[in-house]
Amino acid sequence: MLNSSSRFNSIHFASSVGSQSKLFGLEACTIFRQANCKSAKTIVSMAQRSTTITQENALEWVKSDKRRMLHVVYRVGDLDRTIKFYTECLGMKLLRKRDIPEERYTNAFLGYGPEDSHFVIELTYNYGVDKYDIGTAFGHFGIAVDDVAKTVDLIKAKGGIVSREPGPVKGGKSIIAFIEDPDGYKFELIERGPTPEPLCQVMLRVGDLDRSIAFHEKAFGMELLRRRDNPEYKYTIAMMGYGQEDKNAVLELTYNYGVTEYDKGNAYAQIAIGTDDVYKTAEAVKLFGGKITREPGPLPGISTKITACLDPDGWKTVFVDNIDFLKELE
């Protein structure tokens, strides 16, 4: 016979599993009704089996969800200066700009094509803040260009900072260079033929690569596109995304041997990803070890539904309802 504490815990666990099962289209489990006639061990076993089924269904839904990387958000100290650098040196277009005076910030969206089909940058300028700490965790953005050397010459002519001259990547053959924008954000220029997605990478450092890969596969529905170990330089990278690397923006996760923690600073903010259902997305993130920092629902004042979460390394991601996002662009 169960004591009152055991009955409470079993019923609470069953209720949680039942809620997740209902969300993913499963029949609610019968643990609650059986609480009085089953041992605590049997009930926990049943709940564990129900959780497994829920995870399987959640994983199936995540894989079938229509997702793509929408934009990357970060803070800058002088919006006009950054827009000028991105348009004149990197060939981006200013897609739109919005000022929110009541919240004391302005956004600017830049990229190489319309937001409904391209990965773009969302710059945030907070009134009166002219400097941020980028930290050591954020790596760089990647841009595919036809000719790295010519692009570097243009950036130099415009007074830009080149931190790594054009040449083969360490341990590979691809021609790359690194430059810095006026706020100190690094951009990797990658020599590549014509591509529909020139803004092609966001590189973030992680403390446990296997853990991060598993999380992004299960909770975010990303595919591991490739993995490369560079023992000579003591780092490993994993490319994660929603399609082929040469045609889609990807997330580059970097693990430096022996480094498990980094300083994230306060400059880089998050990546936004489109989803057909923010509510199911939030439940899947919870099931696979993520932390929800904003429960799913509409943003105040507008109908756009979002949910926000942290991955195991503390990187923030915002999921945005696909239909609501397109309405925002109208």
- Catalogue the active-site residues: 188
What is the b/e burial string over 227-252, where b = at least 16 CB atoms within 10 angstroms of the residue's CB?
eeeeeeeebbbbbbbbeebeebbbbb
Residue pair 311/78 in contact (Cβ under 8 Å)? The answer is no
Residue 204 to residue 22: CA distance in whole angstroms = 35
- In this structure, what are the phi and psi dihedrals at residue 81, rounded to the nearest 5 degrees? -60, -45
- Count CB neighbours of 274 within 10 A: 21
DSSP string, 256-267: ETT-------SS
Residue 225 to residue 236: CA distance in whole angstroms = 14
Residue 266 to residue 84: CA distance in whole angstroms = 23
Residue 180 to residue 44: CA distance in whole angstroms = 54
Report the DSSP beta bridge partners of residue 254.
205, 237
Nearest Cα neighbor of 279 from 61, 36, 87, 101 is 61
Residue pair 94/110 in contact (Cβ under 8 Å)? The answer is yes
The Cβ-side half-sphere exposure at 295, using a 13 Å CA radius, reads 0
DSSP string, 146-196: S-HHHHHHHHHHTT-EEEEEEEEPTTS--EEEEEE-TT--EEEEEE-S--S
